[in-house]
Amino acid sequence: MAEDVLKTGTTTIGIRYKDGVVLATDQRATMSNIIAHSNVQKLYQLSDNLGMTIAGVVGDAQLMVRYMQSEIALYEMKKGAPMSVNAAATYVANAIRQGFYLGLIVGGYDKTGGHVFSIDGAGGYIEDNFMSVGSGSVFALGALQAAYKEDMSKDEAVDVAVTALNSAIKRDSASGDGMLVAYIDADGYHDVPNEEIRTRLASQGYKYPN
């Protein structure tokens, strides 16, 4: 792969909490050692009950998002019911083996509750209570490991996610420039407003990443 390919060298996070899941990412894209863009969408809604974070080559990521959104819409039209999180993760894992340079997190809520899966470029997918994918994941995972509790509320899970993102942004040069956060529960997919993210960081003594 060419060194000047646009990549989301990044930090992405998935957390399962008591009543759903939280997904979070930074917003920086790089080309080798150059910061190419500082307002990149790395968190996508796939359907009313499903979301996905992306790390890797931007073109591959955008193609994967479009593919999954269409496949899920077709599934829901045929079945008359939402796709389960496990089924969505399986679809992505099968597709990624076709040669996508990506590391993904699929999260969502279905009749069995909230679930998050990490998916690697070889098509392996693993469910866990929390995870981080991307160049800053080593820094985020330390914060997640220290703060995670299985019975967390939504607000606690969002706070843990932005704290872990902040840790990665401060130490990983390929992560930064902003945060995107969403949660998915029995009522559907919800974006966390940017102003709320800023307020949460300030309450913890952190500045919003610039």
3-state DSSP helix/strand/coil % of the chain, to nearest 5: 35, 30, 35
Which of 135, 174, 152 minimizes the C-alpha distance to 32? Answer: 174
Q: Is 138 exposed, middle or buried (0-12, 13-18, 19+ CB in 10 A)?
A: middle
Sequence-distant (≥ 6) Cβ neighbours of residue 71 within 8 angstroms = 91
Q: Would residue 199 show up in a list of annotated catalytic residues for this protein?
A: no
Which of 39, 13, 55 minimizes the C-alpha distance to 158? Answer: 13
Cα distance between residue 210 and residue 207, in whole Å: 8
Q: Which of 10, 11, 53, 163 is catalytic?
A: 10
Question: In the chain, where do the E strands start and end?
Answer: 12-17, 20-26, 29-31, 34-37, 43-47, 50-56, 102-110, 113-119, 125-127, 130-133, 179-185, 188-191
Which of 170, 197, 189, 183 minimizes the C-alpha distance to 13? Answer: 183
Cα distance between residue 22 and residue 93, in whole Å: 20
Give residue for tokens 């998916």.
119
> Which residues are annotated as catalytic?
10
